[in-house]
């Protein structure tokens, strides 16, 4: 089972809290790993200076322009991959960054991919760790999360927003850093630690620290 595409065709700020508790499944390299999302961030394209799509469409960010329900993966700081769920109206960039989650299936495969994680809660605690334990990267950029035969699928989304949702500033950015567009489940040990700001460079990094 996968979620219907029209359930994701809404602005990132509306979708982001609804994704808390959703289950994302990866069959990359033949190893199934499923993660229940516990922390996300909204990025609203042309209305958001922190978004990769703020300056318009490019070969790198084209997936962000839709249709909704695809996976946007990007490489950050020359070290890590991060993943977003594309949402909103087709043709207008909008995406939700997947910041953290709880591994609910495929613990052995997740541990193999994250051997440095000392505790189970740390396997997908942070956007780079989450992408790593699911095997997400260049090859999964653009995959259809709503297709039953996709290597990465959004298996379920709660019918109602969870009751324990908190919100606050986004992490690791310098543009529009004060916007409370990060959402997480309260009292969840898998939620990442908050660190304001980003790396200072000639141009301010965007979307979890990555610049174009």
How open is the CA angle 147-86-179, to the nearest 5 degrees? 150
pTM above 0.75, yes or no: yes
Per-residue confidence (pLDDT) for residue 193, from 0 to 100: 83
Per-residue confidence (pLDDT) for residue 78, from 0 to 100: 84
Confidence grade of residue 172 (pLDDT, cut at 50, 70, 90): confident
Domains of the chain: residue spans and CATH: 5-185 (3.10.300.10)
C-alpha to C-alpha distances, 176 to 2, 55, 76, 191, nearest whole angstrom: 33, 15, 19, 22
How many whole angstroms separate alpha carbon 140 and alpha carbon 197?
Answer: 28
**Cβ partners under 8 Å of residue 47, min gap 6:** none
Per-residue confidence (pLDDT) for residue 206, from 0 to 100: 52
Per-residue confidence (pLDDT) for residue 197, from 0 to 100: 60
How many whole angstroms separate alpha carbon 164 and alpha carbon 92?
Answer: 30
| Res 203 pLDDT > 60 | no
> Could you read off the pLDDT of 48-86 as tens digits, one per residue?
999 999 999 999 999 999 999 999 999 987 889 999 999
How open is the CA angle 82-184-25, to the nearest 5 degrees? 50
| Res 207 pLDDT > 70 | no
Helices (H), the chain: 12-18, 107-113, 127-134
Per-residue confidence (pLDDT) for residue 210, from 0 to 100: 40
Q: Per the structure block, which two tokens stand in for 135?
A: 């095997």
> Could you read off the pLDDT of 76-129 as tens digits, one per residue?
878 899 999 999 999 999 999 999 999 999 999 999 999 999 999 999 999 999
Residues written for the chain = 212
Per-residue confidence (pLDDT) for residue 15, from 0 to 100: 97
Q: Per the structure block, which two tokens stand in for 19?
A: 């994704």
């Amino acid at each position: 089972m996968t979620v219907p595409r029209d359930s994701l065709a809404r602005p990132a700020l509306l979708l982001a809290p609804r994704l808390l508790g959703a289950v994302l499944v990866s069959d990359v390299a033949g190893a199934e790993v499923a993660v229940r999302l516990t922390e996300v961030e909204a990025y609203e394209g042309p209305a958001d200076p922190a978004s990769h799509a703020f300056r318009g469409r490019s070969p790198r960010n084209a997936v962000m322009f839709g249709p909704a329900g695809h996976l946007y993966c990007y490489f950050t700081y020359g070290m890590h991959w991060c993943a977003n769920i594309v949402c909103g109206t087709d043709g207008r960039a909008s995406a939700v960054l997947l910041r953290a989650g709880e591994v609910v299936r495929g613990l052995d495969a997740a541990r193999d991919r994250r051997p440095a994680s000392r505790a189970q809660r740390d396997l997908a605690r942070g956007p780079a760790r989450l992408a790593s334990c699911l095997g997400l990267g260049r090859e999964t950029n653009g995959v259809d999360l709503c297709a039953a035969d996709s290597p990465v699928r959004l298996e379920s989304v709660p019918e109602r927003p969870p009751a324990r949702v908190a919100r606050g500033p986004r992490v690791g950015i310098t543009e529009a850093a004060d916007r409370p567009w990060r959402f997480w489940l309260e009292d969840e040990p898998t939620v990442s630690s908050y660190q304001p700001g980003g790396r200072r460079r000639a141009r301010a990094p965007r979307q979890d620290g990555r610049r174009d």
